[in-house]
Amino acid sequence: METLGIGLFLLIIMLMLLSGGIWIAMTLAICGWVGQAFFITTEPGKNLFSAFWETNASWELAALPLFIWMGEILFRTKLSEEMFEGLSPWLNRIPGRLMHTTVLGCGIFGSVSGSSAATCATISKVALPELKKRGYDESLALGALATSGTLGILIPPSITMVVYAVAADASIIRIFLAGFIPSAILMALFMGYIAWWSIRNPTKVPAADPPSTFMEKLKKSGNLIPCAGLIIFIVWVLVAGYATATECAAYGVFGSLIIAGYSRSLTWKNFWEGLMGTTRTSCMIMIILAGAAFLTKTMAFTGVPRELAEWVNGMHLSPYALIGSLVVVYLVLGTALDGISMIVLTAAVVLPMIQKAGFDLIWFGIFIVLLVEIAEVTPPVGFNLFVLQNMTGKDSNTIARAAIPFFVCLVVCILIITIFPDVVTVLPDYVMGKEK
């Protein structure tokens, strides 16, 4: 229990630093430094430098600034406005109207990027200004974007899923296939809440546009064709295996520049502003990732995640009590660790427990990805909260409060797949046959 006390002490320090206004990345790095300097026999300086280098010197991470730049291009030219104009007639009669673009956009883009941070940053850049301009409730939009951005790690392909598949020695393709139905359920829950909220708060939703004919809708939707074609192309080359996520991100930037230039909305001014905006956002995300990586090293050295998992294992719980306990454990870890670290640091202890309890490892992969999604919007280290905080200037706790109803939707989705596990396994079993 002494190890768990160290974890609690570091968590208290983190909360104190964040409440004192210290930069997020600095807070994470300071907590990591304190943990290594006072509780373990290692050199914090060397580990700090190696954590920062290992985190940012990554080919996969190169996709992040490219996808953010793609969003900046869409945001600073007429393309984002044209996308909303094309969607508007089709969503006009649905409660919530254009607010649903936050969920749909994150779902579509998440299937391309595979990153929660890139999805949240890119769609927020496009959607927030348009929704505010049209008079939609900002708090609802922030909550929807913070949680819908997490779809980037649930909708395949997903880096988090790949990490889990390697740790569990499971089929990556099966894990990918297992993510489709839960992600559709989660999107339906998010959009259902938006519709319900809009019905309850009609004064906070802009009035519907005048009805239009089917041909008028098709004509307006012509604005969607260039961007939709670009997204479909990116998804196709990625799924077909012709390009990696980083190469797809480069195609996205190149395609966005061509479309913006063809529509005559690209100027040297907005090109430069987009480039600088991309630099600021990317640097913010990367330095937070580096700080989180250093804190993760500290947690690994102290053994807090392993101790938590072994503590649960020693309680000899029934299968569903075990699942309930693991939910609590991963939510606690999610306040201090990123999702990939949570999986890597606990896999050796947790996976044998899950197999012994009779749970399917493919099912548990989706279960743990949903818990990682919750961690992305859980203070104090909810990564999507930091992304939106930087982009909007709003306090992360304000964004977290706005995300609470969507947080509940995530919990409901976890309950659904726990009560009806076939929801997860039916697609991989149908496509690839049951595992023997």
- Condensed to tens digits (0 to 9), the pLDDT of residues 137-190 reads 888 888 888 888 888 778 776 667 777 777 777 777 788 788 889 999 999 999
Q: Are residues 121 and 158 in the same domain?
A: yes
Picking from 250, 282, 314, the residue at the C-terminal end of a domain is: 282
- 201-205: which pairs have CB atoms within 8 A and are 24 or more residues apart? 201/137, 204/136, 204/137, 204/140, 205/95, 205/96, 205/97, 205/99, 205/136, 205/137
pTM of the model: 0.71
> How many distinct structural domains can be found in the chain?
2
Q: Could you tell me if residue 33 is inside a domain?
A: no
For the beta carbon of residue 220, count every other beta carbon within 10 angstroms.
Answer: 17
Answer yes or no: is 32 within a domain. Answer: no
Q: Which residue numbers in the chain have pLDDT < 50?
A: 1
Query: Does some domain include residue 49?
Result: yes
Q: What digits encode the pLDDT tens for the residues 52-104?
A: 777 777 666 677 788 778 777 776 766 666 666 677 777 777 888 778 878 88
Please report the pLDDT score of residue 1 as a whole number. 46
Residue 137 phi/psi, 5-degree rounding, is -65, 125
* Domain range for 357: 45-58+290-432
Same-domain status, 121 and 250: yes
Is there a single domain that holds both residue 300 and residue 276? Answer: no
Regarding whether 249 and 219 lie in a shared domain, the answer is yes
Residues 84 and 179 in one domain: yes
313 and 263 together in one domain? no
Q: Are residues 94 and 191 in the same domain?
A: yes
Q: Are residues 362 and 420 in the same domain?
A: yes
Which residue among 222, 252, 282 closes a domain?
282
Return the pLDDT at 83.
67
DSSP states along 24-91? HHHHHHHHHHHHHHHHSSS-HHHHHHHHHHHHHS-TGGGHHHHHHHHHHHHHHSTHHHHHHHHHHHHH
Q: Which of 237, 261, 282 is the last residue of a domain?
A: 282
Q: Are residues 237 and 345 in the same domain?
A: no
Q: Kindly state whether residue 177 falls inside one of the protein's structural domains.
A: yes
